[in-house]
Amino acid sequence: MNLLNKLILETLTPLGVPVGFQKYSGQALTYITFHEYLQTGEEFEDDGEAFTGHYIQVDVWSKSDYSTLVAGIKQALKNAGFNRLDEADLYEPDTALYHKGIKFYYLEPKEV
């Protein structure tokens, strides 16, 4: 497991709902998944990448109100160095789950 995924898991697990990288296959009615949808060089120095930008989407899936959980996710990831970019409320009719997609940005310094 890469260090960024480990950081996200360690940050979100204390919120008390299952957290999975890309998918969740358990029985909980409320859970979190996440994935990196873009990784890109952000700054370059001395012919090398000085910073890597990680664009992460965190998805909350639930049969009930998830607003308290979403607030906890945003605060926890902010405290861990992530910046929120945007979010959207969705509904998945095939599973009858409410779905909140929240996009975050994390800047990782690299050794040049």
pLDDT of residue 111: 60
Q: Dump pLDDT digits (tens) for 36-84.
A: 999 988 888 887 888 899 999 999 999 999 999 999 999 999 999 999 9
Chain centre to alpha carbon of residue 11: 10
* High-pLDDT (> 70) share of the chain, %: 98
Q: What is the largest CA-CA distance in the chain?
A: 52
Is the separation of the CB atoms in 38 and 55 below 8 Å?
A: yes
d(CA 34, CA 24): 10
Q: What is the torsional sign of CA 82, 88, 93, 96?
A: positive
Q: Hey, where are the domains in the chain? A: 3-12+31-64+73-109
Query: Residue 92 is which amino acid?
Result: E
Give the predicted TM-score (pTM) of the model.
Answer: 0.90
pLDDT of residue 30: 97
d(CA 75, CA 37): 21
Domain 3-12+31-64+73-109 is in which class? alpha beta
